[in-house]
């Protein structure tokens, strides 16, 4: 054998290698280098390099250990790299359907790559045409849907204040089944709201059973989050009964103890849920990190019986001389439980001079009682309020439960729409330290994906969808408040949605990488 032919073997022996001395260079579309990565599979953050090929995560290696060529390189040194945040409770469908806000920028700038719609029982049963519309025009974040109790009840019964007949229940079941077959994640209810509040427990069980048939979950805004009807503890018991009877997981929306009479009842609710979980029922919840809720004024303080049938009938009752004594008594009690007219801040109203003022201040402007002012306001169209009605001790108690994830319940007029994920990190992880960083990340990504059944989201894992958020742990925080509710959050460096860079160096790229996520039946 010649000396020339022996040289390669000699070189291998000298370097002590047992494999080929040169690793072939791999090629990816995007390479994220040197970031501290939360993979969703381990508690510790690790310094890793992540490669994205098309819409998929295709490379994960300890930083600097592999020879990778990339079309785009993102330097994430000093930054946190996480699966894209998932918001299980939004009201973002109108933006996604629009031609100018479909990028969903208020969520992208919080690091959110997936939003869920159809909560509170409002989700349409006409899933397929909605999917076609959003797919055709393009959306900035992923979205998924619940089919809603309110939608199917209105379709079958309108706003009738009565129990459903068996024939009507069967018709509602058919609509729910149609939506589940089309890819809904599950069945949602809002038993606090008209007309769902008129339904009995058995009606809800019958509809939830259809979602169970397709592996869906039951998501609910409880019949009472305070002391307005049956009480928060009894409402939680009802939700547990529904899930247990229908044999499907229960997810409680924006869990809270709402109103002065309910403060402290988080302890009893947590105990009840823990017992049910111990007995084998899968129960989870989500929560927004604010002490004020947000809703429409009529939903907050007007009696449910007054809102039956139609808007015209509602207004007639509000103006009925015979009903004034009853209305005033019940509205006064609702106001008391919410902390009084000074605790209701008008955030959206046709009469813009009232925006940013409390109901007490508006009543003073109108030279009438807060009750009469409220009756007048709700007849001018939808009025949204921020209702300062929660105690921080209850907020803490719920937030620190391992089965409670992050959400926004984002609505106009409330900073939760623009800042919930950023607010929770800055105030409750960084400053108050109620949660560790990994607890926060898990409850904004991996755990949420598991709850919703999004099988290839919520983790930095080979083969998973490339939904990735990169943020600066030193600057990530919300800028929105109750006076400036639509201020964009800061500190998110890069957001990737299905392999497309939507935000880079804090700048929106105008990419529309979102997809409609449908449940595989």
- Which three-class secondary structure string do you get for 252-320? ECCCCCCCHHHCCCHHHHHHHHHHHHHCCCCEEEEECCCCEEEEEHHHHHCCHHHHCECHHHHHHHHCC
> Does the pLDDT value for residue 16 go beyond 70?
no
> Does the pLDDT value for residue 454 go beyond 70?
yes
pLDDT band per the 50, 70, 90 thresholds, residue 10 = very low
336-345 pLDDT per residue, tens: 999 999 999 9
375-395 pLDDT per residue, tens: 999 999 899 999 999 999 999
How far apart CA 88 and CA 519 sit, in angstroms, is 14
Residue 21 is predicted with a pLDDT of 45
pLDDT band per the 50, 70, 90 thresholds, residue 488 = very high
Q: What is the mean pLDDT of residues 81-104?
A: 98
Residue 258 is predicted with a pLDDT of 97
Residue 23 is predicted with a pLDDT of 60
pLDDT band per the 50, 70, 90 thresholds, residue 43 = confident
Contact 220, 120 (CB under 8 A): no
Q: What is the mean pLDDT of residues 237-249?
A: 98
Average pLDDT, the chain: 94
pLDDT band per the 50, 70, 90 thresholds, residue 64 = confident
DSSP-derived letter for residue 189 is E
> Does the pLDDT value for residue 9 go beyond 70?
no
How far apart CA 169 and CA 186 sit, in angstroms, is 17
Q: What torsion, rounded to 10 degrees, do the Cα atoms 206, 124, 514, 421 define?
A: -70
Q: What is the mean pLDDT of residues 52-61?
A: 98
Residue 521 is predicted with a pLDDT of 53
Residue 63 is predicted with a pLDDT of 94
What tokens appear for 163 in the block? 């129990």
120-155 pLDDT per residue, tens: 999 999 999 999 999 999 999 999 999 999 999 999
Displacement of CA 474 from its chain's centroid (Å): 25
What sign does the dihedral 286-195-125-100 (CA atoms) show?
negative
DSSP-derived letter for residue 430 is I
How far apart CA 412 and CA 433 sit, in angstroms, is 29
Pick from 246, 247, 257, 172: nearest CA to 222 = 257
> Does the pLDDT value for residue 20 go beyond 70?
no
200-218 pLDDT per residue, tens: 999 999 999 999 999 999 9
In the chain, what are the domains? Answer: 85-294+393-453 (3.20.20.140), 298-388 (no CATH)
Residue 25 is predicted with a pLDDT of 77
Residue 1 is predicted with a pLDDT of 39
């Amino acid at each position: 054998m010649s000396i020339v032919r022996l040289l390669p073997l000699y070189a291998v022996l000298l370097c002590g290698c047992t494999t080929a001395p040169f690793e072939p260079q791999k090629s990816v579309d995007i390479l994220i280098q040197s970031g501290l990565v939360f993979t969703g599979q381990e508690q510790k953050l690790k310094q890793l390099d992540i490669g994205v090929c098309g819409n998929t995560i295709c490379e994960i290696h300890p930083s600097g250990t592999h020879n990778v060529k990339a079309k785009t390189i993102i330097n994430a040194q000093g930054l946190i790299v996480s699966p894209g945040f998932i918001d299980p409770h939004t009201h973002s469908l109108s933006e996604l359907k629009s031609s100018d806000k479909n990028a969903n920028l208020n969520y992208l700038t919080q690091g959110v790559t997936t939003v869920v719609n159809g909560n509170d029982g409002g989700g349409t049963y006409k899933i397929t045409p909605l999917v076609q519309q959003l797919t055709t025009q393009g959306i900035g974040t992923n979205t998924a849907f619940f089919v809603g109790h309110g939608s199917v009840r209105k379709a079958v019964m309108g706003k009738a204040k009565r129990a459903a007949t068996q024939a009507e229940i069967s018709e509602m079941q058919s609509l729910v089944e149609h939506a589940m077959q089309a890819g809904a994640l599950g069945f949602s209810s809002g038993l606090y709201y008209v007309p769902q509040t008129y339904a009995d427990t058995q009606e809800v069980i019958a509809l939830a059973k259809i979602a169970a048939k397709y592996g869906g979950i039951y998501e609910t805004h409880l019949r009472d989050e305070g002391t307005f009807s049956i009480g928060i503890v009894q409402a939680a018991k009802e939700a547990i009964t529904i899930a247990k009877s229908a044999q499907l997981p229960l997810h409680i929306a924006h869990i809270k103890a709402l109103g002065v009479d309910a403060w402290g009842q988080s302890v009893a609710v947590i105990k009840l849920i823990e017992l049910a979980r111990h007995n084998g029922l899968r129960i989870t919840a989500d929560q927004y990190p604010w002490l004020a809720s947000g809703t429409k004024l009529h939903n907050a303080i007007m009696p449910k019986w007054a809102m039956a049938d139609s808007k015209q009938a509602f207004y007639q009752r509000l103006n009925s001389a015979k009903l004034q004594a009853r209305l005033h008594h019940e509205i006064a009690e609702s106001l008391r439980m919410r902390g009084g007219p000074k605790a209701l801040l008008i955030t959206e109203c046709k009469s813009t001079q009232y925006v940013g003022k409390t109901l007490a201040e508006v009543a003073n402007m109108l030279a009438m009682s807060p009750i009469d002012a409220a009756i007048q306001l709700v007849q001018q169209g939808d009025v949204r309020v921020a209702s300062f009605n929660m105690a921080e001790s209850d907020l803490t108690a719920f937030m620190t439960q391992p089965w409670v994830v992050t959400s926004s319940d984002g609505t106009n007029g409330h900073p939760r729409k623009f800042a919930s994920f950023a607010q929770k990190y800055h105030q409750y992880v960084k400053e108050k330290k109620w949660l560790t960083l990994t607890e926060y990340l898990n409850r904004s990504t991996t755990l949420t994906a598991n709850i919703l059944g999004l099988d290839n989201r919520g983790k930095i894992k080979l083969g998973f969808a490339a939904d990735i958020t990169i943020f600066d742990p030193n600057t990530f925080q919300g800028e929105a408040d109750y006076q400036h509710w639509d201020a964009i959050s800061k500190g998110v460096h890069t957001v990737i949605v299905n392999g497309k860079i939507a935000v880079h160096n804090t700048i929106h790229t105008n990419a529309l990488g979102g997809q409609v996520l449908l449940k595989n039946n």
